[in-house]
Amino acid sequence: MLNVSEKNELSEKDIKNWGELWGNIETAHFFNSYSWYIACREGLKQKIHIWYVYCEKALIGVFPLCKTSRYGIECWGIIGKPYTDKCSILFHSDYCQFLSQIFQEIGKKTPVVLEEVPETWKFDDSNPVLLEVASFNPFVNLDEDILCQVKRKEWNSIKRKSEKNGFYFKILYAKDVQNNIHVLWEIENQSSKPSKKRAMFETELTKNFFQKISDANECVLAILYDGEKPIAHMFGYNIKDKFFHAHHMSFVQEYSKETPGKLVIYRLICHLKEKGVSVFDFSRGETMLKKHFSIYRETHYDFYYNCSAIVKKWFEVCKYIKGKCYDVRHSVKNWYMLMKGKG
């Protein structure tokens, strides 16, 4: 028997049960942990509603959601946007047959739109669900030979640079991250991101949010130094000593010829493999930098659920238009690059 229960307040038992479920699900990550929920609630001041899902009294899912909008329709969405790289729902994929029933209960009055849903969630054709590819998530399998997954020439070049340039590599865990979290925005301010309008730490809200995140024991911060000057970092999460999930990386622009981004990734991969970590997860989005290190990727989806045929049709129309706009932009970009090459 399935029970979907909305929680206005979490008791100590609820928090404990969330942690136990998170520990028992192999694919759990930081973005569906209790620590992420606390950071979103207190750091981003999000008003979060939580549903606990039980099957025969056993907890099988925790669904923290907040009100948002998609294509002009108010809906339930994942927490932590725009900073989350994965879906914030914690759910045991062995119970996918109940997903339709769960969302029917949660979405009785308000549609549910989830981003970055994992490919392990399975839906049958009878569900009033729309799915579209959201992103690709590159990763490195550290249990395998790394040289079989990377460009060997590139890897050896990075290795030689790492051995010759004299840069100092430091890795911090837990409380040490909290004391050094300011390094994230200090490096980013000297990177190319501000000029490209891609800087993350432009507001005190964001800085306070990451300060709150750094309270969590899962936090990992890798820093590359030139002498005493930090020139590159990668921030992420150690999940059960099995997975590393990257979340943010920057390097000082004036050092770009030294490829500090590649160097900090290389040193961190070597460190994690030595510690017995199985997966280095780059998180969502494919870039040339990630492709240097990874041949594997996981597909994430955007998920739309609504019982209303009208709202479902509206989502379908908007998704179609969005797809066509993407095709036009992609064609224009290719034409521009072609003309630029001829010029």
Any idea where the domains of the chain sit in the sequence? 2-136+301-307, 144-277
Phi, psi of 173 (to 5 degrees): -130, 155
Helix, strand, coil percentages for the chain (3-state, nearest 5)? 40, 30, 30
The Cα–Cα gap between 103 and 121 comes to 13
For 213, other C-beta atoms within 10 Å of its C-beta total 25
Question: Which residue type is seen at 56?
Answer: E
CA neighbours closer than 13 Å in the CB half-sphere of residue 228: 0
Q: Over 90: is that where the pLDDT of 306 sits?
A: no
Measured CA to CA, the distance from residue 106 to residue 64 in angstroms comes to 11
Write the single-letter amino acid at 321: I
The predicted-structure confidence for 135-188, as pLDDT tens digits, reads as follows 999 999 999 998 888 877 778 888 888 877 889 999 999 889 999 999 999 999
CA dist., res. 78 & res. 194, Å (int): 27
Q: Which tens digits make up the pLDDT trace of 221-274?
A: 999 999 999 999 999 999 999 999 999 999 999 999 999 999 999 999 999 999
Whether residue 260 is preceded by a cis peptide bond, meaning omega within 30 degrees of 0, is no
Read off the DSSP letter of residue 330: H
How far is 254 from 83, CA to CA, in rounded Å? Answer: 27
| The domains spanning 2-136+301-307 and 144-277 adopt the same CATH topology | yes
Nearest Cα to Cα of residue 298 among 311, 288, 284: 284
Q: Residue 331 pLDDT more than 70?
A: no
Residues 144-277, CATH architecture: 3-Layer(aba) Sandwich (3.40)
pLDDT tier, 327 (very low <50, low <70, confident <90, very high otherwise): low
Q: Which of 224, 227, 271, 219 is nearest to 245 (CA)?
A: 219
Average pLDDT over residues 18-46: 96
Q: How far apart are CA 34 and CA 210, in angstroms?
A: 15
pLDDT value at 2 more than 80: yes
pTM listed for this prediction: 0.88
Taking phi over 0 as left and psi of -120 to 50 as alpha, with beta for the rest, 68 belongs to beta
Predicted confidence (pLDDT) at residue 308 exceeds the cutoff of 60: yes
Three-class SS state of 145: coil
Per DSSP bridges, beta strands 112-118 and 296-305 are antiparallel
CB atoms within 10 A of CB 312: 17
Alpha-carbon gap, residue 286 to 138, rounded angstroms: 7
Token digits for 115?
């981003």
150 vs 86, residue with greater confidence = 86
Q: What is the largest CA-CA distance in the chain?
A: 68
pLDDT at 156: 82
Q: How far apart are CA 304 and CA 114, in angstroms?
A: 7
Lowest mean pLDDT among 145-154, 226-235, 292-301, 306-315: 306-315
The hierarchical CATH code for the domain 2-136+301-307 is: 3.40.630.30
What is residue 19's three-state secondary structure? Answer: helix
